[in-house]
Amino acid sequence: MKTTAALLAMILLGPVAADAVPLRDRAMAHLGETVRVHGIRVTPLRVLEDSRCPQAVTCVWAGQVRLSARVGGVTRALTLGQPVAVSAGQLKLAAVAPARLTVGHSIAPRAYRFGFEFMRVGGLELIGH
């Protein structure tokens, strides 16, 4: 039974180094809320742009979300899906909720939630993550 579980884990996770450490740290925050991502303090301050394509609409461009955030004491602009270099790795604005629902629908600032992800530089990536 242990062998079966080990094989299943290898299939699901793929090959990883024996000395592998957790590759990602994640956290979610509202505007004004400070979270720690791999020990780095991140505070989303304000939405600079939310031009995401609304659901059930065909768009030529998917749009983007840009966020002003305090990262380790420095105010930076983060763009959804684009990592930025930080201490010993990269920080990425990885998720924004809620989704845009309809054309012209605005999202109240207090309703936004932002997902941040830290990735170590030189770390292995798991396929599909």
Residue 105 predicted with pLDDT over 90 = no
The pLDDT value recorded for residue 24 is 57
The mean of the pLDDT values for the chain is 80
- Chain segment 56-102, per-residue pLDDT in tens: 888 898 889 999 999 999 999 999 999 999 987 999 999 999 988 77
Q: How far is CA 116 from CA 16, 33, 41, 67, 85, in A?
A: 24, 12, 11, 11, 13
Other beta carbons within 10 angstroms of residue 97's beta carbon come to 11
What the block records as the tokens of 67 is 């966020």
Closest among 115, 64, 60 to 92, alpha carbons compared? 115
Residue 126 predicted with pLDDT over 50 = no
